[in-house]
Structure 1
Amino acid sequence: MSASQYRSGVPDNWFVDPVNLGVPGVRAPHPDEDNALAWQSDALCAQTDPEAFFPEKGGSTRDAKRICSSCDVRAECLEYALQNDERFGIWGGLSERERRKLKRQAS
């Protein structure tokens, strides 16, 4: 089979915009934010399995944190999570509990 005949099982329109889907906690950027979420296109998590970043309660966060540790936009991601009070998942290499602790220390 030639490369041009090969087709994976992933449809061309595999990406679903969580804002349009109505995912709880995901909001559209305010028009005044002027591309405030542009950093997401460079995020390593966007290229990996999202399940690693939203483990079940008590699940391991190790894989997600390892990916975050080498991500170029880790600081922007963490800043976004702190500003938007993200309550679930790994953002900027920190769990929700770690982000809460960081906010308490900053107060």
Structure 2
Amino acid sequence: MTDAFWMSQAVCSDADPDLFYPPTDGRQSELQIRAARRICRDCPVRRPCFEEAFALPVVMDYGIRAGTTARERRAMRRRLQAQQAA
């Protein structure tokens, strides 16, 4: 699946992009993360979105992608690197 194809199929393409870039903390951040996750939850292209956000060697360090926060993706990457090192 090419990037252009899956991106055109993303549910978020009709949403306000700012929703996926919440403030770093506080109640507003929490509300935006929940709202973005609701959109991502049923998206038919969630997997390629996640794969792009998590692609090694670069992990997207900002925004909500495939329902995950940058902090969650960093933690996943650390766990994966630890597993690969073992």
Same fold by TM-score, threshold 0.5 exceeded?
yes
| Counterpart residue number, 1:63 | 35
TM-score using structure 1 length: 0.64
Structure number, greater radius of gyration: 1
Deviations along 1:23-45, whole A, 9 cap, x unmatched? xxxxxxxxxxx933421001111
In structure 1, list runs of 5 or more residues that go unmatched: 1-33
For residues 71 and 35 of structure 1, the distance between their equivalents in structure 2, rounded to whole angstroms, comes to: 17
Structure number having the greater helix percentage: 2
| Shift in alpha-carbon separation, 1:49–1:102, aligned structure 2, 3 A | same
**What percentage of aligned pairs have identical amino acids?**
36
Equivalent position SS for 1:85 = coil
Match 1:101 to one of 75, 81, 85: 75
What value does the CA root-mean-square deviation take over the aligned residues? 1.5
For residues 51 and 106 of structure 1, the distance between their equivalents in structure 2, rounded to whole angstroms, comes to: 29
In structure 2, list runs of 5 or more residues that go unmatched: 82-86
Equivalent position SS for 2:3 = coil
For residues 85 and 100 of structure 1, the distance between their equivalents in structure 2, rounded to whole angstroms, comes to: 7
Residue 35 in structure 1 maps to residue 9 in structure 2? no
- Between the two structures, name the one with larger relative contact order (CA 8 Å, sep ≥ 6): 2
TM-score using structure 2 length: 0.78
Matches within 5 A, 1:1-107: 35-58=2-25, 59-60=29-30, 61-83=33-55, 84-107=58-81
